[in-house]
Chain A
Amino acid sequence: MSTPRYVVSMLCLIAFTCAALHAQSTPPDFSGVYYPINPFGAAALGRGAPPADAKGKQKGPPPRPTQSAPLSDGSQGRSPDAPSLTPAYMAKWEIIRKSRMAGSSEYDNTAKCLPPGMPAMMSMAYGMEVMQNKDKITFFSELNDALRRVYLDGRKPTQKILDDPTYAGYSTGHWEGDTLVVDTVALHEASFIEGFSPHSDAMTVKERIRFLSPGLLEDRIAVTDPKALTKPWETVKTYRRATSGNDELREFACAEGLGDAK
């Protein structure tokens, strides 16, 4: 006895619907090693390749570098896209700025081998490794071997967690289609928003992370701090997945040279 044609059609329809639903519910896999796009600013460093002519051919030696690193001591003033600080926190920033302009590392956590903290660590200047499974996604920064975990299993921060703030804070996330939405709380005051601006213990961070195209990952970061910020601060980081041969991060044993950091 052959199966009636309409039954076959129905089965096909069910199978197709299930496959479609499954595809919709399977989140993208962000796992891999990534490097930020233009981490230091294009003009800041003497890169290896000489300039190319109109045909793309390289000519002559590379130009002599005019900088060794981006200017980051505050002597250039405050960037228009820097976090908008309240007067009390602007006064703190002025103290930090004076210290940095004098050449001191007093307010530079990474120079002291401390974690950069959230959201500064998402700059990932030296590269990032993402490790993902169904219940957790882990972001690792080569710079200062810093790490953060984002729980995806539905758990929420407890009072015990909220009472115990850290540099990376406590992150929970969920998928909205192909976008990972992450909330970070329990951040203590000892870090700096983007590495320079001070913040309070009321700071929280919301991120929307997604692939713009295969291998091109975007993190849209929104920082809220009712004590330190006059309005939420938003920034966007973009990372490219490493290609074969360039896909291993190196150990960053910061304390090797900590010695008499000053």
Chain B
Amino acid sequence: MRVHFAIAVVLGAALITATPGLAHHSNVAFEVTKVVTITGVVKAFEWRNPHTWVILTVDDGKGGKVDWGIEGRAPGVLLRAGWTKNSLQTGEMITVDMSPAKDGSKTGLVARVTKADGTILPNAGPAQQ
């Protein structure tokens, strides 16, 4: 019983550290008119509603690494913009244009993703005019 509890604590801690800021936010949590660019390695890509998530491991500029949690549009919207559930693979290098969170946490809102080969994954497909 005690062992099980210990394992649960370890697993729980691992989950928490693996998913920084993986709470669901409204767009109002981000500075949507500001876009910054970060490049890093995909640690996880969560294809789920109401928002997708990219967990990105980025150099912190001090010789270390830091994880960013970047919230993206819903799977339905991204499918129509050309994404799939397998668009991002763990371990691949990507560049993300994103709006930073108002609270200064290491989270952002995706504006677009650019893969290493230059492929652009946008937030929306061509205008339906």
A and B are interacting partners: yes
Which residues in chain A, 222-262, are within 8 Å of chain B measured between CB atoms? Answer: 240, 246, 249-254, 256-262
Given that A66-B33, A67-B35, A257-B48 are contacting pairs, would A127 and B76 also be in contact in the complex, using a CB cutoff of 8 Å? yes
A69 within 8 A of B: yes
Chain A residues near B80 (CB, 8 Å)? 127, 246
Which residues in chain B, 10-69, are within 8 Å of chain A measured between CB atoms? Answer: 22-30, 32-33, 35, 37, 48-51
CB atoms of B126 and A48 under 8 A apart: yes
Complex A-B, nearest 7 residue pairs according to Cβ-Cβ distance, in ascending order: A250-B76, A111-B26, A105-B26, A103-B102, A68-B111, A68-B99, A65-B111
Which has the most chain A C-beta neighbours within 10 Å: B26, B74, B77, B98? B26
Given that A71-B32, A102-B102 are contacting pairs, would A262 and B127 also be in contact in the complex, using a CB cutoff of 8 Å? no
Given that A45-B122, A64-B35 are contacting pairs, would A256 and B76 also be in contact in the complex, using a CB cutoff of 8 Å? no
In whole angstroms, what is the CA distance A47 to B97 when docked? 13
User: C-beta contact mask, B93-110 vs A, less than 8 Å → 1, else 0?
Assistant: 000011101110000111
Chain A residues near B51 (CB, 8 Å)? 257
How far, in Å, is A78 (CB) from chain B's closest CB? 16
Among the stretches A19-27, A36-44, A130-138, A167-175, the one at the interface with B is: A36-44
A201 within 8 A of B: no
In whole angstroms, what is the CA distance A251 to B112 when docked? 23
Residues of chain A at the chain B interface (Cβ within 8 Å): 35, 37-38, 40, 42, 45-49, 61-62, 64-73, 100-105, 108, 110-111, 113, 126-127, 142-144, 240, 246, 249-254, 256-262
CB atoms of A240 and B128 under 8 A apart: yes
B120 within 8 A of A: yes
CB atoms of A38 and B127 under 8 A apart: yes
Given that A72-B27, A262-B23 are contacting pairs, would A42 and B128 also be in contact in the complex, using a CB cutoff of 8 Å? no
Chain B residues near A72 (CB, 8 Å)? 27-28, 32
CB atoms of A69 and B49 under 8 A apart: no
Contact partner of B81 (CB less than 8 A), chosen from A48, A61, A71, A262, is A48
CB atoms of A142 and B30 under 8 A apart: no
CB atoms of A71 and B25 under 8 A apart: no
CB atoms of A67 and B99 under 8 A apart: yes
Chain B residues near A259 (CB, 8 Å)? 22-24
Given that A48-B81, A105-B26, A252-B76 are contacting pairs, would A40 and B124 also be in contact in the complex, using a CB cutoff of 8 Å? yes
Contact partner of B122 (CB less than 8 A), chosen from A48, A110, A127, A253, is A48
Chain B residues near A67 (CB, 8 Å)? 32-33, 35, 99, 111
CB atoms of B28 and A108 under 8 A apart: yes
CB atoms of B111 and A46 under 8 A apart: yes
CB atoms of A45 and B111 under 8 A apart: yes
CB atoms of A68 and B49 under 8 A apart: no
CB atoms of B25 and A111 under 8 A apart: yes
CB atoms of A113 and B50 under 8 A apart: yes
Closest residue of chain A to B82 (Cβ to Cβ) is: A48
Chain A residues near B118 (CB, 8 Å)? 61
In whole angstroms, what is the CA distance A67 to B114 when docked? 16
Chain A residues near B108 (CB, 8 Å)? 68
In whole angstroms, what is the CA distance A42 to B80 when docked? 16
Chain B residues near A113 (CB, 8 Å)? 50
CB atoms of A260 and B23 under 8 A apart: yes
CB atoms of A68 and B30 under 8 A apart: yes
In whole angstroms, what is the CA distance A143 to B49 when docked? 10
